[in-house]
A = this chain, B = another copy of it.
Amino acid sequence: MFNSIKDLIIGSPLPTQQLVGKRLNKIRALAAFSPDALSSIAYANQEIFLGLVVAGSAGLAFSWPIGLAITGLLLLVALSYFQTVHGYPTGGGSYIVARQNLGTLPGLIAASALTVDYLLNVAVSVTAGIAAIASAFPVLWPYRVALSLGLLLVITIINLRGLRETGTLMAIPVYLFLFTYIPMLVYGVIRAVMDGPGTLAAVAPAPTAPLTLFLLLHTFSTGCTALTGIEAISNGVPAFKPPEAKNAGRTLIVMSVLMGMLFLGSVGLTQYLAVVAGSQETILSALARRLLGSGSAYLLIQSCTMLILFVAANTSFAGFPRLAAILAGDGFLPRQLTSLGDRLVFTNGILILAIASGVLIFAFNGDTHALIPLFAIGAFLAFTLSQAGMVVHWWRERGKGWWLKSVVNGVGALATMITVIVVVISKFIEGAWITALVIPIIVAVFLRVRAHYREVTRQLSMDGLPPSLKPVPIPRVVVPISGVHRGIVDAVNFARSISDNVTAVYVELEPGAGERVRQKLAEWWPDLNLAIVPSPYRSVIGPLLDFLDETDRLHNDGQSAALVLPEFIPAKWWQSLLHNQTAWLIKAALLYRRRYSGFLRVIIDIPYHLRR
């Protein structure tokens, strides 16, 4: 029954050979990898507005210059990644590029930064989507956290169903967004030309902070979140239809042009028309309302913004599990993350991302603005390391035009590195410190995991074992019994079939009970040894373990007694609640407490199944 419910929600299992077929064409790939990048304008514009509005109309006048600076950075980074796509046609995520060219540690730092970035992209996109729709319907405001978590659940289920189906479903909102937003911006430009500029000084609130260089840098660094997501395509090259690199590169160009257009268009119109927003509305909502009124056209824009933001969260669901699988394959994360689930997706990675971002949304109370300071640092650190890696890559390869390519990536690395420094300094207290703390912790986890796997490989090696392996002698056998009943019959008989030295053990909780067991046992197995272990503190496990210890010491034959456990299995799950789980507790104690290290402790389960 559980399986059929799972099939209904997730879909039925797919065999491994279907894997190659699940590739994306350019139209679908744009929908799958671009929403994060395209939708970034929703929160980046908002952060620019919130950063500058404290300095009044003088501050807001800097929207356009800052927008231009960010767009310039966008072009640099896009160019860099275009080169990465071609330099690494098999998938050049920041981790791979940094690790191969700069070394393991820089690679792991990039991987850790990307992990944080993926996680925050989910949290920020989902909450910003809810903010977009709550700008239109303020009644939804108190339910932000619950709505965000509900949507996260929906996105998770969709992703568990598999990548191509994801692409189909996700394509609709992405193109809906493009085909409503771009016409609105065009209409806005026409209106702007016809109506002439607005006057910021007339509408901006009075300044509450002086206009300083620090304020501008701070605003620039929060606005840089507009670039987040641009790396998604370079990570996902193998998901494209062949020729992968060419298709991915073209998709990247289209995406970057769209990003620049949307970002500059909305920032420019906002400043030119002198649009400002109240505390209960996003700046994009205010711009749309100014251009379209509050009617159905406005609601369509807000709905499309919300939808693309939800789809943006999906970028992480495509990217993170893939990164985790690569890291796990290299031994830096648990191996389970490499296994494809029933639907040929990395199920474990999807679930981890969903849970972690759910916790983040809950902890930050669904507030996008509070999450933003944690965000950009991860993305830009990964950009920097990846592009620095590309410089080394071209330099090592020395192919055609390597010098020019190195310069392009070098400029990109420098620009993004400066951005990282600006972000860390200007947003440290507001939350960047959390990211700055978490990134090295994740790196430490990566290294610890690999150390463990290496140690395991060493311990499991067959090197040094004698070439001919002989059967081990059959040991003494101990059978713990809870009384004399049908449940122990098979256990006692099996024990006697593998060993001549069998002892039944009864832990006596009430004085006198042991003697009754001895008499009844003798009726059925007259020659069976019985040890009665008193338990003054009413515990079964402790005295039994002590007894095993004691007899092992007495025999002093370098061996532990094997344990034959009669295990009582109820017919229905709820019936287990009605029985002491003694067999289970004994196994847990023996296996995990390591009280008997050095000896081989064989544990033999003889189940007795209840019929109903």
The chain A residues found within 8 Å of chain B, CB to CB, are 13-17, 334-336, 339-342, 449, 452-453, 455-456, 459-462, 465, 467, 469-474, 484-487, 489-490, 492-494, 496-498, 524-525, 536-539, 567, 569, 571, 573, 575, 577-580, 587, 590-592, 594, 597, 600-607, 609-612
In the complex, the answer to whether A605 meets B606 with C-beta atoms within 8 Å is no
Q: State the CA gap A575–B445 with chains docked (Å).
A: 12
**Contact yes or no, B16 A537, CB < 8 A:** yes
Candidates B486, B578, B605; contact of A460 at CB < 8 Å: B486
- Assess whether B471 is in contact with A497, with CB atoms less than 8 Å apart: yes
Q: Are B473 and A461 in contact (CB under 8 A)?
A: no
Which of B449, B493, B497, B605 contacts A605 (CB under 8 A)? B605
Q: Judging by beta carbons under 8 Å apart, are A472 and B459 in contact?
A: no
A610 engages B456 (CB within 8 Å): yes
From B341, B460, B602, contact of A487 by CB (8 A)? B460
Q: Select one of B17, B342, B452, B486 contacting A462, CB under 8 A.
A: B486
Expressed in whole angstroms, the Cα–Cα distance for A484 and B457 within the complex equals 12
Given contacts A340-B538, A469-B489, 10 further A-B contacts (CB under 8 A): A13-B537, A459-B610, A461-B485, A470-B493, A472-B490, A474-B498, A569-B594, A590-B607, A597-B609, A600-B606
User: Do A469 and B485 have beta carbons less than 8 Å apart?
Assistant: no
Measured CA separation A226–B605 after assembly (Å): 56
Chain B's closest residue to A587 (CB) is B605
Chain B residue contacts of A591, Cβ below 8 A: 567, 569, 605, 607
> Hey, which chain B residues are within 8 Å of A539, CB to CB?
13, 342
Q: Which residue of chain B lies nearest to A575 when distances are taken between CB atoms in the complex? A: B452
Chain B residues near A538: list those with CB within 8 A. Answer: 16, 339-342
Contacts known (A462-B484, A493-B472, A537-B13); A602 close to B594, Cβ less than 8 A: no
| A335–B578 touching, CB < 8 Å | yes
12 intermolecular pairs with C-beta atoms under 8 Å apart: A13-B537, A336-B580, A455-B612, A456-B610, A462-B485, A462-B489, A465-B486, A470-B493, A472-B490, A490-B600, A587-B605, A604-B605
**Chain B residues closer than 8 Å to A474, beta-carbon distance:** 497-498
Cα(A555)–Cα(B469), bound, Å: 28
A462 to B521, CA, bound (A): 11
Docked complex Cα distance between A578 and B445 (Å): 12
CA distance A578 to B575 in the complex (A): 32
Q: Hey, which chain B residues are within 8 Å of A597, CB to CB?
A: 609
